[in-house]
Amino acid sequence: MVHDPIPKSASGRSALQVARRAARETGALLLRRFGDVRDVRFKGPSNPVTDVDLAAERLIEEHLSSEYPGMAILGEESLSLPPDDGYVWIVDPLDGTRNYVSGVPHFSVVIGLALNGRELVGVNYDPARGEMFEAELGGGAFLNGRPISVSPKSSMAEAIVGTDLSYDGGGAANGLDVIRSTWPGFQTARVMGSAALGIAYTAAGRHDLYFHHRLEPWDQVAGILLVREAGGVVTDRNGKPAGLRSDGLIASNAALHEEFLKLTCGMAWREPTGYGS
């Protein structure tokens, strides 16, 4: 897919290089502080934010602002502007905060760049494993520099299904009902506590399909691009192409995506929530 070149940064780097560098340095901060969280607050039930989240977001913002002073930044911990107005960096400094607080080494740093709501660049860095998932529009998807692709499986009976529990209690219950109602029509399910990594794992073929009740722009900005550039399909809960404000998310290859839509037809999880409208 052809698109206008993204401007170079102040230091002459590409946007992908800037995002990659910021993610690595932020990941190093997360590892240094892993097991040393001093302040935990809750934005909502089961939705913690820590002093590390805030420090990590400041570090990312410093990097991005110095390299691209004219571009806006939308961060999970500094909600300030819409994600679809010109160039906007979209940042989740610590996806999987609950895991991080609990000492579970499954979390990541998400940095994406969008233009008028269209995902152009996305990186998702897992510092505990040293894994950098990255994609640029039209350039393919990569894990530590090697090309990745979605699962080749053609039947849900062969599939590993990933999901995570929404902060919306009803949405989480409906997601679990999808698992209950379709079991044993797939191999197994994974609920691992980082939606961003769950989507990235689908891009890399580790999950065959991933679905979620509702995600925010910073949760999915990199994942949407990763899955598409890895040859997959990523839509909202009713099969419309996913965007930063989609109502739900389904990511897989074309065959499994189609079968999942048929299997879940009529379920409560498929009912629109009005989010993003």
In degrees, rounded to 5, the angle at the alpha carbon of residue 39 between the alpha carbons of residues 36 and 42 is 125
Task: Write out the two tokens for 178.
Answer: 């999808």
CATH number at residue 59: 3.30.540.10
Does residue 229 fall inside a structural domain? yes
If asked whether residues 141 and 193 sit together in one domain, one would say no
Residue 186's CATH number: 3.40.190.80
Question: How many angstroms separate the CA atoms of 259 and 177, rounded?
Answer: 17
Min mean pLDDT across 47-61, 84-98, 130-144, 238-252 is at: 47-61
Task: Return the pLDDT at 50.
Answer: 79
Query: Which amino acid, residue 33?
Result: R
**Residue 1 maps to a domain:** no
pLDDT digits (tens, 9 = 90+) for 72-89: 999 876 655 566 778 999
Instruction: Please give the pLDDT value at position 42.
Output: 63
CA distances from 218 to 74, 192, 276 (A): 8, 18, 14
- As a whole number of angstroms, the distance between CA 201 and CA 214 comes to 18
pLDDT band at 49 (very low <50, low <70, confident <90, very high): confident
Q: What confidence tier does 51 reach under pLDDT thresholds 50, 70, 90?
A: confident
- pLDDT of 267 higher than 80: yes
Name residue 105's amino acid: P
pLDDT at 104 > cutoff 90: yes
Domain count, the chain: 2
pTM for the whole structure: 0.94
**pLDDT at residue number 169:** 82
Q: Write the pLDDT tens digit of every residue in 224-260.
A: 999 999 999 999 999 999 999 999 999 999 999 999 9
Q: Assign 163 to helix, strand or coil.
A: strand
Per-residue pLDDT, averaged over 54-59, amounts to 93
Q: Which pLDDT band holds residue 36 (cuts at 50, 70, 90)?
A: confident
Q: Both 113 and 27 in a single domain?
A: yes
105 plus 183 within the same structural domain = no
Report whether 97 contacts 48 (CB < 8 A): yes
Q: What is the mean pLDDT of the chain?
A: 92
Indicate whether 249 and 183 sit together in one domain.
yes
Which of 96, 119, 145 terminates a domain? The answer is: 145
Domain assignment present for 96: yes
